[in-house]
Amino acid sequence: MATQHSQKLARSMMAPSVIALLIWMAVPLAMTLYYSTLGYSLYNPISTPFVGIENYTYFLTDPTFIAALTNTMVLVVGVLVITIGGGILLALLLDQDIYGVNIVRLLVIAPFFVMPTVAALVWKNMMMNPVYGVIGQSMSAIGLAPIDWMTDVPLLSIILIVAWQWLPFATLILLTSLQSLSSDQKEAAEMDGAGALSIFWYITLPHMSRAITVVILIQTIFLLSIFAEILVTTNGGPGAQSTNITYLVYQQAISFGDIGAASAGGIVAVILANIVAIFLIKAIGKNLDA
C-alpha cells in the first residue's frame, strides 16, 4: 500500500519532465516530417501542395547535399582525430610529475568555455587572417608565403577552430580516466622489464578505451550539429566547400525560403544522428547496470 502510494508520487514527480520532453521532441519532429512532404515556400505560404517524396529526391540528388554530407563527415572525423590524438598526448603529459600542473590544466581547458562565435571570429581574424593574423605574420617572418585560410582551405580552417574548442573536453575526460589507473599494474610491468611504449600500448591504452569511446560518441553528437562556427567565418563557402548538413538546412530555409526541402534535410540529419545515438545509448546504458 505504502509502496503503491510512493510509486504514484514518484510518477507524478517525473511526469512534468517527461511530458515536457515528449512534447519538445515529438510535436516538432512530426511537423518537420509533415512539412517535408509539402511544396512549401516562405515566399508563397498560401499554396502548400502535397508533393510526396519530391523534397527528398530533390535534396538527396542536389550536388550540394553530397558535398555537405562529405563535409560533415570530414569535419567530424577530422576533429575527432585531432582531439583524441592530441587529447591522449596531453593527458599523458598532464599526468606527469610537473611544476604548476594545476595552472597548466587551467590553460589547457580554457578554450572549452569560449563561446563558439568568439572562438570562430578570434581565429578567423586575429589568428588566420593572412595579413594581420598571428599565424600569417609568423609565416611571413620566417619567409614563408602566408595562407589565406578561409578562402584556400575553408573546411580545414573550421576543423582547426572546432578542434581547438573540443581538445580540452577530450583531454579532461581522458586525464580523468588515466588517473584512475592503479600504479600497481604499471609498476609490475616495469619490474618485468616492459618499456614505456609497451606499457602504454598494453596497459594504459586499453584502460582508456572506454573513455575514448565516450569521447568519440559525445563529440560526434555535437560535431554533427556544428553551425555557429560556419555562419560567422565562411558562410559555408567558397561555393559549398565548408557547408555541412546543419548549415545546408539553415540555408534552404532562410536564404531560399524552401521549407519543404529544409524539412527533408532536417529529417536526414535526424537519421544520421540516430545512427550514432544508438551506439552512445548502448554504451551508457551498459554503464548504468555496472
Partner 1 sequence: MARQVSRQRKIGMTILAWFVGFLIFFPILWTFLTSFKTELTAISIPPQFLFFDWTTENYVNIQAQANYFHFMMNSIYLALGSTVLGLIFAIPAAWAMAFSPTKRTKDVLLWMLSTKMLPAVGVYIPIYLLFINLGLLDSRLGLIIVLFLINLPIMVWMLYTYFKEIPVDILEAARMDGATLRQEITQILAPMAVPGIASTVLLNVILAWNEAFWTLNLTTSNAAPLTAFIASFSSPQGNFYATLSAASMLAIAPILIVGWFSQKQLVRGLTFGAVK
* Residue 255 found at the interface with partner 1 (CB under 8 A): no
- Contacts (CB under 8 A) with partner 1, residues 102-141: 103-119, 121-123, 125-127, 131-132, 134, 137, 141
Using CB under 8 A as the criterion, what x/- string covers residues 34-63 for binding partner 1?
Answer: -x----------------------------
Phi-psi region of 236 (alpha: psi -120 to 50; beta: other; left: phi over 0): left
* Residue 18 found at the interface with partner 1 (CB under 8 A): yes
Using CA atoms, how far apart are residues 133 and 126, in angstroms rounded to an integer?
4
Using CA atoms, how far apart are residues 203 and 184, in angstroms rounded to an integer?
11
* Residue 163 found at the interface with partner 1 (CB under 8 A): no
Reported as half-sphere exposure (CB side, CA atoms, 13 A), residue 217 has a value of 17
Which range, of 51-59, 145-153, 199-207, 274-282, touches partner 1 by CB under 8 A? 274-282
- Contacts (CB under 8 A) with partner 1, residues 207-226: 210-211, 214, 218, 221, 224-225
ω before 238 within 30° of 0 (cis)? yes
- Contacts (CB under 8 A) with partner 1, residues 89-108: 90, 93-94, 96-101, 103-108
Q: What angle do CA 53, 59, 65 make, to 5 degrees?
A: 155
End-to-end CA, the chain: 31
Q: Which three cell numbers stand for residue 101?
A: 600542473
* Residue 66 found at the interface with partner 1 (CB under 8 A): no
Residue 126 CB, nearest approach to partner 1 (Å): 6
- Contacts (CB under 8 A) with partner 1, residues 138-157: 141
